[in-house]
């Protein structure tokens, strides 16, 4: 069994930590307010953006996962988390003479600048135009050029328990869409994001970069029409009501997961259909 540190133990990190703890690993969850972590994850109170709080990391850590996320969507927050926070953790591990077998970073497909619906994979150019992608790419390079073996998992849009607002927007008729200008979305269920990280941890020599998306980059219209049909509500088109929100997204690409699949990972939710069906059929929270 291994000693594992999950830095930024939030939405993905908690799912991953619970999975690994159930297998018998010792898991520490580092976050600013760790009191709400599940019982199987050992709480570690620290702030990745404050180096002084990182001076006593768990000893003899075998694997480190950096899955922090910013609280706000602005350049300063993204730089603080994905560049400064990551650098603080790497410096703390080095100064405390830690020797993790590998450090994993959850990044994003936002590092690609593609906006015309083309296919991308791990070898495609990374030319982000938005601050989020720019800072994520900066963090990736910091890690991959750093002192420890490292792997980056570039995740698509996350959904899962607690992140299913799209269902209610469709149910209430509060979102509009059409297929005149197709926009592709790349998604991954939270449980597959955690499962993929665990899978990569188990590989003897994982590659530096993987794409973490499901099998089907889906057009927004296809997803929302499917949800409307499944919920037995009428699909809504732009212009039918002034209260409708029509999503606008500058990014438009189709991400291949062939490399992750070839490594041996088997998806629990291969497409949005299986993932959203699970969300629709799960019992409501008590």
Residue whose C-alpha is closest to residue 134's, from 189, 79, 54 = 79
Q: What is the pLDDT of residue 220?
A: 84
Residues contacting 180, CB < 8 A, separation 6+: none
**DSSP 3-state of 237:** coil
Burial 88-108 (b: 16+ CB within 10 A, else e): bbbebbeeeebebebbbbbbb
Q: d(Cα 121, Cα 254) in Å, to the nearest integer?
A: 9
**DSSP 3-state of 234:** coil
Residues of the chain with pLDDT under 70: 178-181, 237-250, 283-286
Q: d(Cα 267, Cα 257) in Å, to the nearest integer?
A: 10
Q: What is the pLDDT of residue 239?
A: 55
- As a whole number of Å, the CA-based R_g of the chain is 19
Task: Give per-residue pLDDT as tens, 122-133.
Answer: 999 999 989 999
pTM over 0.85: yes
Q: d(Cα 127, Cα 47) in Å, to the nearest integer?
A: 30
Residues contacting 120, CB < 8 A, separation 6+: 109, 112, 114, 211, 253, 254, 255, 256
In order of their start, the domains of the chain are 3-161+187-213+254-268 (3.40.50.720)
Residues contacting 33, CB < 8 A, separation 6+: 45
**DSSP 3-state of 96:** coil
Q: What is the pLDDT of residue 248?
A: 54
* Cross-sheet strand order for the sheet of 42-45: 42-45, 26-31, 3-7, 63-66, 102-108, 150-155, 209-212
CA dihedral 162, 47, 34, 161 (to 10 degrees): 10
Helix (H) or strand (E) holding 135: helix 131-144
Residue whose C-alpha is closest to residue 197's, from 1, 10, 11, 20 = 20
């Amino acid at each position: 069994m291994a000693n594992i540190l999950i830095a930024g133990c939030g939405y993905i990190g908690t799912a991953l930590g619970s999975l690994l703890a159930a297998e018998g690993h010792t898991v520490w969850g580092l976050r600013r307010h760790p009191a709400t972590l599940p019982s199987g994850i050992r709480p570690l109170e620290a702030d990745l953006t404050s180096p002084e709080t990182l001076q006593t990391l768990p000893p003899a850590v075998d694997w480190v996962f950096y899955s922090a996320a910013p609280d706000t969507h602005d350049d300063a927050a993204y730089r603080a988390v994905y560049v400064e926070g990551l650098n603080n953790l790497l410096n703390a591990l080095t100064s405390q003479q830690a020797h993790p077998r590998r450090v994993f970073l959850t990044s994003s497909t936002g590092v690609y600048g593609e906006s015309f619906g083309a296919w991308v994979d791990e070898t495609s150019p990374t030319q982000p135009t938005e601050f989020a992608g720019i800072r994520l790419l900066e963090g990736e390079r910091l890690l991959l050029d750093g002192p420890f073996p490292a792997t980056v998992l570039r995740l698509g849009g996350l959904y899962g328990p607690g992140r299913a607002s799209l269902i209610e927007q469709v149910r209430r008729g509060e979102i509009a869409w059409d297929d005149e200008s197709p926009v592709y979305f790349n998604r991954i269920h939270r449980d597959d994001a955690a499962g993929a990280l665990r899978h990569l941890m188990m590989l003897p020599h994982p590659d530096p970069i993987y794409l973490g998306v499901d099998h089907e980059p889906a057009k927004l219209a296809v997803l929302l029409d499917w949800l409307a049909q499944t919920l037995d509500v009428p699909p809504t088109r732009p212009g039918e009501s002034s209260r409708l929100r029509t999503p606008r997204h500058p990014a438009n690409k189709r991400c291949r997961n062939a490399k992750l699949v070839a490594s041996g990972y088997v998806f629990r939710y291969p497409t949005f259909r299986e993932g959203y069906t699970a969300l629709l059929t799960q019992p409501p929270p008590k």
